[in-house]
Amino acid sequence: MAKDITESCVLVSYLTDFPFPFQMALLSALRQIAGVTAGPLSDALKTELYTLVLGTISLPINLPGTSYYQGFQARKKLVSILEQMIAERRSSGDAHDDMLDALLRSGDDGTREKISDEQIIDLLIALIYSGYETMSTTSMMAVKYLSEHPRALEELRREHLDIRKGKSPDEAISYDDVKSMTFTRAAIFETLRLATVVNGLLRKTIKDVEMNGYVIPKGWRIYVYTREINYDPFMYPDPMTFNPWRWLEKNMESHPHFMLFGGGGRMCPGKE
């Protein structure tokens, strides 16, 4: 519990100070999702998103002045900003190569139901929130762990430089190149295991489930605390040590205890 509180305090400090990993991840997400680049609009979105994040990890006390209350207010402001963006897109008639444009055009061909503006806004907030907060925290922790383990950093650099050697100076990294970065993938998995950015999974039983002599009734909410799984020495020997090589020794992704990206039919699309 003390470790959880300490890590939450560290996260709050990073969010409050607007560190570079968070800003970089947020700008990347905003550009791909809604075509927003650095400027007054991104600054306004950033301020409200950070307030929203702080609200979601605070005690659920909905009184003026609390982080929880401010989180609700921030979401209302985000909705207002996105409503204005949608109105401007429609009035301009210009085509944009981003997710917002695709959502606005959904249903135009008659093959599927038209998505309402409320649904679009809800989806955009969810995508921006989940896309930048988890990625930026993981990036920040990866830098921390690699800086503390020079051998792992050197191995990662060697893998990237070897790929770069086979390309011309102006040739971009391809998807196949990314998929071939086995040690990089291992370093990411080990970072996620140790940092446990999302420390649990919430599920609902659709039927009675018997486990170790106990019956979990249908309709119960189940919270799987993945941090305990990630630190289990039986599954991960010497669990508190940053050791990316453990992911190269055997296909640990196929194990039932691999839950770094969720599990079942609701696996996180960010896994790939």
- Among candidate residues 180, 224, 182, 219, the one with its CA nearest the CA of residue 199: 224
9 assigned binding-site residue: no
Separation between Cα atoms, residue 123 and residue 100, nearest integer Å: 10
Report in angstroms the alpha-carbon separations of 184 from 15, 67, 116, 189: 26, 37, 40, 9
Separation between Cα atoms, residue 116 and residue 127, nearest integer Å: 16
β-bridge mates for residue 223, sequence order: 202
Q: Calculate the CA 59 to chain-centre distance.
A: 22
Binding residues: 268
Binding residues for heme: 268
